[in-house]
Amino acid sequence: MSDAAVDIDSVRSEIADEVRRRRAGGSFDALKERELEQLFHQYAPLQGRDGALAETLRAVDVTAFIDPHVPVASSQPAGTAIKRGLRKASFWYVNWIATQVTRALSTVARSLHLIDDELTDMRKSLDGLTFSGSPVIELAGAEGPSAWWAESARSLGVQAPGRVLVSACADGWLVSALVSAGVDAYGLDPRSERIMEAEIAGLDLRDDDLLDHLDAVADDRLSGMVLNGTTEALLPAQRRRLLRHIDQVLTHDAVVVIHAVHPDAVDGDDVPAELDLAGARPLRPITWVSLLEDLGFVATVELGPSESDFLVTARRGSPISAP
C-alpha cells in the first residue's frame, strides 16, 4: 500500500462516478443509496461526525487502565505453567510499569474531559448568538407546482447537464417534475414529515440540512441547484459558506435558481415567523446577481406578481436559454 495520504475528494469523486454509472444502468436505486449512506455514517472514522468527541472519550476511559495480570492460557503442553511462572517472576516490574502508564493515561483522560466541558459551555454560549441549520422560509401562495416561479425553475433545471439539487423540496413536487423530464434530481428538506410520503413513493428525498449536506459533496459533482426558501434566514457567515459551496460543487456549465422573499416585504404580516426568529434579513435580488456574477454566472431577476418574492436564474459561463 502506498504511503501517500488518501485524497478524500478523489475518493468521493470515484464513489460518485460509480454511483452515476450504476444509477444509469438501473441497478442502484435511491433506497439502496440511502442504505449505503447510513452504513458509511455508522462505520466511518469518527473525525467530523456528531458526537465524535464523546465517543472518543468513552474509548479513552475504557483503555486508560492497563491490567498487569498477563493471561497465561496456552494451547501448548506445559505452556500455562511456564507462563504462570514467568508472570509471577516479573509481576512486580510489570505491575510497577502498568501503574505508571495507567496514572499517566488517567491524567490525559481527565484533561480531555475538562476540554470537553469547556467546549460544551462554549457551544451553549454560541447557541445563544446564532442558530444551527438552515431554516426553511415558506411564503404563503408562492409554493407548489402552481406557483408563479415553478415553470421557470423547472425549465432551467431541465437544461442542467447532470445532477440537480432542490432545497426545501417539501413533498418533492419540483423534484418529481424534473425527474419526469429526464433530469437526475434529488431533494433536501429538514422537515422530515413533509418528504416522508414522496420518499416512500421512490423519489430521492433526504431530511438533511442544506449546508451540512453540501459539506459532504465533492467538487464539480452537481450541475444545478434550486434554492427555494433556504437563503433568506442565513447569517452572513452561512451565506459565505453557501457561496463557497456553489463555487466548488457546481460544474463549469451549471445552472442556479434562487427563489426568495424580497427584503422590502419583511415588514409585512405575510412573512413567515421563522424569518423573525432567525434574526436575518434576505438579500436584495441585485445582490444575488452580483454575488453570482463574481462566481462566473450570468444571472437574471424576475419579481413575483405581488413583488413580495423574486426569482434569480443563472447559468455559469453563458446566457440562459429560452424555455
Q: For the domain that residue 305 is a member of, what is the CATH number? A: 3.40.50.150
pLDDT category of residue 286 using cuts at 50, 70 and 90:
very high
What is the pLDDT at residue 133? 66
Q: Which of 103-112, 127-136, 296-305 has the lowest mean pLDDT?
A: 127-136
* Look-up of cell digits 457567515: 237
Average pLDDT, the chain: 83
What is the pLDDT at residue 222? 96
Q: pLDDT over 90 for what percent of the chain? A: 37
In a domain, 10, yes or no: no
Residue finishing a domain among 127, 142, 161: 127
In a domain, 35, yes or no: no
In a domain, 2, yes or no: no
Residue type, 141: G
Q: What is the pLDDT of residues 301-321, one digit of tens each?
A: 999 998 989 999 999 976 665
Task: Say whether both 97 and 205 belong to one domain.
Answer: no
pLDDT category of residue 197 using cuts at 50, 70 and 90:
confident
In a domain, 225, yes or no: yes
Q: What is the pLDDT of residues 76-94, one digit of tens each?
A: 888 888 888 888 888 888 8
What is the pLDDT at residue 220? 92
What is the pLDDT at residue 1? 42
Task: Say whether both 183 and 230 belong to one domain.
Answer: yes
- Measure the CA–CA gap between 223 and 129, rounded to whole angstroms: 35
Which pTM does this prediction carry?
A: 0.64
Q: What is the pLDDT of residues 9-50, one digit of tens each?
A: 677 777 777 777 777 776 766 667 667 766 665 555 555 555
Task: Say whether both 81 and 192 belong to one domain.
Answer: no
Task: Say whether both 312 and 247 belong to one domain.
Answer: yes
Task: Say whether both 155 and 113 belong to one domain.
Answer: no
Q: Which of 13-17, 145-149, 175-179 has the lowest mean pLDDT?
A: 13-17
Task: Say whether both 161 and 293 belong to one domain.
Answer: yes
Task: Say whether both 174 and 308 belong to one domain.
Answer: yes
Average pLDDT (108-128) is 79
* Look-up of cell digits 478523489: 10
Task: Say whether both 116 and 160 belong to one domain.
Answer: no
Specify the number of domains making up the chain. Answer: 2
Task: Say whether both 193 and 79 belong to one domain.
Answer: no
In a domain, 173, yes or no: yes
Task: Say whether both 123 and 156 belong to one domain.
Answer: no
In a domain, 67, yes or no: yes
In a domain, 211, yes or no: yes
Task: Say whether both 196 and 311 belong to one domain.
Answer: yes
Q: What is the pLDDT of residues 34-44, one digit of tens each?
A: 677 666 655 55
In a domain, 121, yes or no: yes
Task: Say whether both 191 and 263 belong to one domain.
Answer: yes
Q: Provide the residue range defining the domain that includes 275.
A: 150-316
